[in-house]
Structure 1
Amino acid sequence: MARLDRRGLPLSTTSDLAAEHYREGVDLLLSAWPGADAALDAAIAADPDFALAPAARARLHAIRGEMDAARARIAAATGIVARHGTERERSHVATLALAIQGRSPEALRAALAHAEAWPRDVLILGLPLGAFGLFAFSGMADHDQARVDLCERHAGHFPDDDWWFLTYRGWSHAENGAVAQGRALAERGFALRRENANGVHAVSHALYEAGAGEEAERLIAGWLPGYGRSGPLHGHIAWHAALGALERGDTERALAIYGEHVQPSVSAGMPINLVTDSASFLWRLQAYGHAVPQGLWQAAASYAAAAFPKAGSAFVDPHMAILQAAGADHDGVERRAAALEALVEAGTMAAGPVVPALCRGALAFANGNHAGCARILEPLAGEVVRIGGSGAQREMFEDMLLLALMRSGEAAKARALLDRRLHRRPSPRDAAWRARLAA
């Protein structure tokens, strides 16, 4: 009898135990839940000739930023699948290998082609999706729409109770502006599997885009205690709650959440989240008129310097520049921007010139050169989306431009920016800034 994965696709393993552990491990991986590593290791032990288990293990390593281990695992899977794999499994492993090797354009093309043939192979369908997926980091200006298009193209292949597909379909719609539709889909997916960090994350994003920050805080406060600190999204989900508290003016609560769950010294999250969440929270705290407690900037900067020693990540580098600028490392920001410009010139920075511009804009803002910051950021405001991430994460750079305009006397431009934001996402912070401009 054929052994199947959770969505009915055949597995080439000869072991019922390996198939069982694989299904469990993939469920845990897809829900960002602790235990995926142990389940997948058990699948590998039960059948060393089953290539999808080490391939999934490689994907888990890559998500955690453990790239040496990811490359070793995918190399093992590649050798196994050549001897003991089906056509689907060979394509599955080859696509994951491209992504892990950093060959992102090829990986995106391979993932889309694989999805045409096997749309329910969700480890591959998921590669282009999400805030850090292949679409988001492709440099495309319309990656929000591309995710929606991909989900809708394959929606007919999924039943109405597939919690994973509902989660990512909902997140994609909410990010693309269909907030009510996205929220409804994400909430359905989360209701089907509450032990799902990606589910609560998707709902939190939808609530943020709806301007329902306090509702998101309540959701996270009730859910987070049941999610172990070893969960890869523990700190990032707490970051969402900290943003909500900060936005409604409860600085004490926001700092308490940051100190307990988000800062690098207490979180076991993914390095990309640890750096960007810390930088963006501290920047917002200071930009909104509050003092950053002593040592927090330095601690975040020290972790970031070790985690990302070289320029080359369109999403991370502007956050690195914020940390460097906060520490008065002006030369460091300039070196980073120059390195990024060289990558743009070489054609290896897909997001293009917006990345070094954001670094220089962050430095100008930190130096109090608000007119200079506005001159840098305003022409590229529509290009920030190219760095990837989510709307909630990128909004910081819009805040930077808005505050630069306000502080340099460009009230009319600031009001126009606030008007555009009002149609997208209402917030108490924007209301306060509007009142300040009207005074």
Structure 2
Amino acid sequence: MALKDHYENPVTTTSTAARDAYDRGVRLFLSGQYGPIAEFDACVAADPGFALGHAGLARARMMGGDMAGAKESIAMAEALGSSSRREAQHIAAMAALLAGKAVEARRLVRAHVQEFPRDALLAQLCTNIFGLIGFSGKVGREADLFAYTSTLFPHYGDDWWMMSMHALSLCEVGEADESLTLMEQALAINPENAHGVHFKAHAQYEIGETAAGRAYLDTWLADYDNRGLLHCHLSWHSALWALHDGEAETMWRAVDSGVAPGSAHGLPLNVVTDAAAIYHRAELAGIEVDPARWKTLSDYAASFFPNPGQSFADMHVALAHAMAGEGERLSVLAETDQGFAGDLIAPVARTWRAVARGDWAGALAELTPVLACAQRIGGSRAQRDLLELTYANILLKLGRADEARRSLATRRPILADAPPVEGLT
């Protein structure tokens, strides 16, 4: 009898050890826990000819920050090939992703899941805020993500991973209460699901459950391996809630234990975006940020993102360069049109330059048109609050406090009652 994986997909290995290691790798990967690379290594060691195992290793290495190793693994998967249509399509889509062909990868994944909806490791590429739909640069990407997970959801039953992914989609289209209910169900099945914990934090942020959110997240983080994929970003959520509660010392402890360059073990994308966001939001709230922090972050950003192209990263890289006074680095981004939302990055970069100079009228002129379609840049609603709060602060600096309050009340009402912007309360 042919072996099947956890999701009942036939696999082209006769090695039970390889299949079991593959399943463990998928589970760890989908739950955002540390260790999937080791499991996929064990998989291909048990059956070196199992092409899908090499593809899984490629994905795990990619998310572990080892792009060279990921490309080596996917090349091995392609060389081995597979007699299975599902596995061959899976490998082709993963290869497109690792070749930098995001549009092609998105097309391949969406076609693939129509035929093989329970191929979870590949379906995952188009889920989440940071997936191929989330980073599509399209208007309406949140609705697109909701439609995608809505189509897959009936195929998975009571599966903790799909439940948490669909819950996030619900949250991002404004159904935070329904999202939280589904997320609680998913976490009851697998409490170690870091993605579920992450998305629960988003839902609680959106409905203003700061106290409950902080208590749950900080307790859960205490037992989470700091090498786990989401440790950096979950530490950012913890720091952000401390900031909203006016606890600067607690915020800095969270930043310095899991977010800032040198302490975070996350992907460079998370380190750059989360560190830049918490530094700037702290400044908006009236907390002094040591200029050395901005300089360190600018240097880190220049090392990992020397050229524009990843728009969500570029928005934060530009902020780091502007606040560090690195005008030459910033000028590249202030003139770019590269990336899935490249047309928005130049005005955002010029906004940060104007903010750093105290040119509030110039900042307003640059940022205002961006806000109309800021969702194209990517990130969650909570992450795009960086722009919403900056806009309110600019209006405040221009003496237009009432307009700033109206802006938050209409665009981000969850922040309107106690806006974390000094002087706006």
1:220 and 2:228 equivalent?
no
Match of 1:35 in 2: 35
Distance 1:356 1:435, change over 3 A: closer
Match of 1:394 in 2: 384
Cα distance in 1, alignment partners of residues 420 and 251 from structure 2: 20
Cα distance in 2, alignment partners of residues 391 and 272 from structure 1: 17
User: Could you list the runs of 5+ residues in structure 2 that have no partner in the other structure?
Assistant: none
Partner SS for 1:148: helix
1:430 and 2:407 equivalent?
no
Aligned pairs (5 A) from 1:208-357: 208-293=205-290, 295-338=292-335, 340-341=336-337, 343=338, 349-357=339-347
Shift of 1:106: 0.8
Cα distance in 1, alignment partners of residues 416 and 47 from structure 2: 53
Cα distance in 1, alignment partners of residues 282 and 331 from structure 2: 24
Q: Are the counterparts in 2 of residues 51 and 85 from structure 1 also a CA contact under 8 Å?
A: no
Cα distance in 2, alignment partners of residues 310 and 5 from structure 1: 40
Cα distance in 2, alignment partners of residues 28 and 370 from structure 1: 47
Aligned pairs, how many? 425
Match of 1:202 in 2: 199
Q: Are the counterparts in 1 of residues 388 and 412 from structure 2 also a CA contact under 8 Å?
A: no
1:405 and 2:395 equivalent?
yes
Match of 2:47 in 1: 47
Q: Are the counterparts in 1 of residues 284 and 420 from structure 2 also a CA contact under 8 Å?
A: no
Match of 1:346 in 2: none
Cα distance in 2, alignment partners of residues 384 and 420 from structure 1: 15
Aligned pairs (5 A) from 1:4-23: 4-23=4-23
Partner SS for 1:205: helix
The structure 2 residue matched to 1:183, chosen from 155, 180, 185, is 180
Partner SS for 2:191: coil
Cα distance in 1, alignment partners of residues 93 and 197 from structure 2: 28
Deviations 1:222-260 (A, max 9, x none): 111111111121121011010001012111111111112
Cα distance in 2, alignment partners of residues 376 and 435 from structure 1: 22
The structure 2 residue matched to 1:164, chosen from 161, 175, 187, is 161
Shift of 1:412: 4.4
Q: Are the counterparts in 2 of residues 248 and 429 from structure 1 also a CA contact under 8 Å?
A: no
Shift of 1:284: 0.8
Letter in 1 for 2:60: L
Deviations 1:172-206 (A, max 9, x none): 11011111111111121122111121111111111
Identity rate, percent: 34
Partner SS for 2:279: helix
Shift of 1:23: 0.4
TM-score by length of 2: 0.96
Shift of 1:214: 2.2
Letter in 2 for 1:111: V
TM-score by length of 1: 0.93
Letter in 2 for 1:23: D
Cα distance in 2, alignment partners of residues 272 and 145 from structure 1: 24
Cα distance in 2, alignment partners of residues 427 and 268 from structure 1: 34
Q: Are the counterparts in 1 of residues 172 and 381 from structure 2 also a CA contact under 8 Å?
A: yes
User: Could you list the runs of 5+ residues in structure 1 that have no partner in the other structure?
Assistant: 344-348
Partner SS for 1:11: coil
